[in-house]
């Protein structure tokens, strides 16, 4: 029996609409906070037992239809020997931002190393959740990577930024350095993807969280080919892909054409509108507004019904949030959403 999420990726009917949450493993869970109490973020990602345990926590608790491997888009940079750390309350910080062609050239000597810890971590997860070996039911593990633009934005800015001014300056002012940088980012993200697939990840999601600071024309001219490189690495290993961005609703077809089997949609448009823009060609993922997780249940329930209704117009639908779980979320609300979605979509066969 193929899992519901695999069926929906192929546009086939499933026993219920599959659901998982971006950032489901993490700070909203008390069992996560207990485990992480004395372990810095990136250290926890590089410890296979810790990463595997954190990955399984939300699957046990919420009964979601997929696990997402606990790691971070910056982990491959760390494995490539780049001086990156996660500053609590701030986010990823690089001591030496990448500003010039010389900085980019210096990256060429950096390759992913020690990625066995990632492979082992995913492997441990599949020991608990099962593997696609043909007969027994299993819960798929989603592996992921940061898209080259989003990674490059952190590398050029050196820290989180609202408008990615420095990154966009390099994009216009030094296109040679820019393409060399994105090429390097694509290579290490692709290696990170392959390491997770080697451990048993059966779906890959590419996160382009900050691509929305670009317009369609610049995305096409300066970014999309590099994203395609990472998605292609998954396809070459026979693994389907989800391509997610925020603020990217003006270039959903380009995100699909980069090589996506599923397109992730943020909260800014309804899924039936996304389906229209995509010409009814591809499975969609999304898009419960994370802001409503803190609203009264009746308000949230009405919103979920609308998301399910709009999603049923697409060739396939994986229910998710429109972006990650906010750290302050009451985990019981997430469990209730999973129960509700499973209950109201059981045997619907309308997709
Ligand atoms: O719950 C948690 O957030 C705890 C662990 C944590 C992660 N990353 C896990 C993660 C922490 C503290 C980070 C640091 C980090 N990395 C931040 C700051 C987060 C904060 O609010 O303090 C940021 C912005 C990054 C960079 C990053 N990582 C981006 C842009 C993305 C893409 C997704 C997004 O939210 O836009 C990630 C992926 C990421 N970080 C995942 C996890 C578990 C991916 C898988 C998933 O969705 O669970």
Question: CA torsion angle for 294, 40, 78, 246 (degrees, to 10)?
Answer: 10
State how far the Cα of 348 lies from the Cα of 15, in Å rounded to an integer.
8
Report whether residue 278 contacts ligand 1, using a CB cutoff of 6 Å.
no
Mean of pLDDT values over 252-270: 98
Q: How far is the CA of 72 from the centre of ligand 1 (A)?
A: 6
Q: Determine what percent of the chain is predicted with pLDDT higher than 70.
A: 99
Flag whether pLDDT at 350 surpasses 60: no
- Establish if 291 belongs to a structural domain: yes
Burial of 198 per CB tally in 10 Å (0-12, 13-18, 19+): middle
Report whether residue 78 contacts ligand 1, using a CB cutoff of 6 Å.
no
Each residue's pLDDT tens digit, 2-29: 999 999 999 999 999 999 999 999 999 9
Q: Which atom of ligand 1 approaches the CA of 325 most closely?
A: 1
Report whether residue 69 contacts ligand 1, using a CB cutoff of 6 Å.
no
Specify the pLDDT at position 161.
93
Report whether residue 190 contacts ligand 1, using a CB cutoff of 6 Å.
no
- For atom 14 of ligand 1, the residue with the nearest CA is 91
How many domains does the structure of the chain reveal? Answer: 1
- Establish if 281 belongs to a structural domain: yes
State how far the Cα of 312 lies from the Cα of 332, in Å rounded to an integer.
26
Q: Which atom of ligand 1 approaches the CA of 210 most closely?
A: 30
Q: How far is the CA of 292 from the centre of ligand 1 (A)?
A: 20
- Establish if 221 belongs to a structural domain: yes
Q: Which domain holds residue 336?
A: 4-345
Each residue's pLDDT tens digit, 209-220: 999 999 999 999
State how far the Cα of 132 lies from the Cα of 9, in Å rounded to an integer.
15
Mean of pLDDT values over 91-104: 96
State how far the Cα of 58 lies from the Cα of 37, in Å rounded to an integer.
18
Flag whether pLDDT at 176 surpasses 90: yes
Q: How far is the CA of 23 from the centre of ligand 1 (A)?
A: 7
State how far the Cα of 123 lies from the Cα of 128, in Å rounded to an integer.
9
Report whether residue 59 contacts ligand 1, using a CB cutoff of 6 Å.
no
Specify the pLDDT at position 281.
98
Mean of pLDDT values over 294-318: 98
Report whether residue 142 contacts ligand 1, using a CB cutoff of 6 Å.
no
Report whether residue 35 contacts ligand 1, using a CB cutoff of 6 Å.
no
- Establish if 350 belongs to a structural domain: no
- Establish if 68 belongs to a structural domain: yes
- For atom 35 of ligand 1, the residue with the nearest CA is 324
Kindly report the pTM of this predicted structure.
0.97
Q: How far is the CA of 154 from the centre of ligand 1 (A)?
A: 13
- For atom 43 of ligand 1, the residue with the nearest CA is 70
Specify the pLDDT at position 351.
46
135 band by pLDDT with thresholds 50, 70 and 90 = confident
- Establish if 242 belongs to a structural domain: yes
Who has greater pLDDT, 133 or 305? Answer: 305
242 band by pLDDT with thresholds 50, 70 and 90 = very high
Specify the pLDDT at position 257.
98
Output the domain CATH number for residue 184. Answer: 3.20.20.210
Element (H, E) at 61: helix 48-62
- Establish if 278 belongs to a structural domain: yes
Residue 69 neighbours by CB under 8 Å, 6+ apart: 51, 55, 118, 121, 122, 125, 141, 142, 143, 144, 196, 201
Q: How far is the CA of 308 from the centre of ligand 1 (A)?
A: 26
- Establish if 248 belongs to a structural domain: yes
Report whether residue 68 contacts ligand 1, using a CB cutoff of 6 Å.
yes
Element (H, E) at 175: helix 175-199
Each residue's pLDDT tens digit, 225-234: 999 999 999 9
* Residue-wise DSSP of 186-222: HHHHHHHHHHHHHHT--EEEEEETTGGGS-HHHHHHH
Name the residue of 23, 150, 154 whose CB sits within 8 Å of the most ligand 1 atoms, as the mutation to test its pocket. Answer: 23
């Amino acid at each position: 029996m193929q899992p519901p999420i695999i069926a929906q990726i192929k546009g086939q009917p499933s026993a219920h609409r599959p659901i998982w949450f971006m950032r489901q493993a993490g700070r909203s869970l008390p069992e996560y906070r207990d485990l992480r109490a004395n372990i810095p973020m990136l250290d926890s990602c590089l410890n296979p037992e810790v990463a595997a345990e954190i990955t399984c926590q939300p699957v046990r608790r919420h009964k979601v239809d997929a696990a997402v491997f606990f790691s971070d888009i910056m982990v491959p940079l760390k494995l490539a020997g780049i001086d990156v750390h996660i500053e609590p309350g701030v986010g990823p910080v690089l001591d030496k931002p990448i500003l010039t062609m010389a900085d980019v050239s210096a990256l060429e000597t950096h390759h992913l190393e020690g990625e066995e810890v990632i492979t082992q971590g995913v492997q441990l997860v599949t020991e608990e959740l099962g593997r696609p070996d043909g007969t027994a039911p299993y819960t798929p593990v989603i592996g992921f990577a940061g898209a080259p633009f989003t990674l490059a934005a952190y590398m050029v800015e050196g820290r989180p930024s609202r408008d990615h001014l420095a990154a966009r300056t390099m994009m216009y002012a030094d296109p040679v350095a820019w393409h060399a940088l994105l090429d390097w980012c694509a290579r290490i993200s692709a290696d990170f993807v392959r390491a997770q697939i080697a451990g048993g990840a059966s779906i890959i999601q590419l996160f382009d969280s900050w691509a929305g600071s670009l317009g369609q024309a610049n995305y096409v001219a300066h970014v999309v080919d590099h994203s395609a490189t990472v998605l292609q690495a998954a396809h070459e290993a026979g693994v389907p892909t989800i391509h997610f961005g925020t603020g990217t609703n003006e270039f959903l077809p380009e995100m699909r054409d980069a090589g996506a089997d599923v397109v992730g949609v943020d909260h800014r448009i309804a899924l039936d509108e996304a389906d229209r823009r995509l010409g009814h060609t591809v499975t969609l993922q999304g898009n419960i507004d994370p802001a409503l997780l803190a609203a009264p249940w009746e308000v949230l329930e009405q919103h979920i019904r609308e998301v399910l209704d709009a999603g049923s117009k697409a060739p396939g639908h994986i229910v998710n949030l429109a972006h990650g779980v906010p750290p302050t979320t009451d985990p019981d609300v997430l469990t209730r959403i999973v129960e509700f979605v499973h209950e109201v979509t059981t045997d619907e066969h309308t997709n």
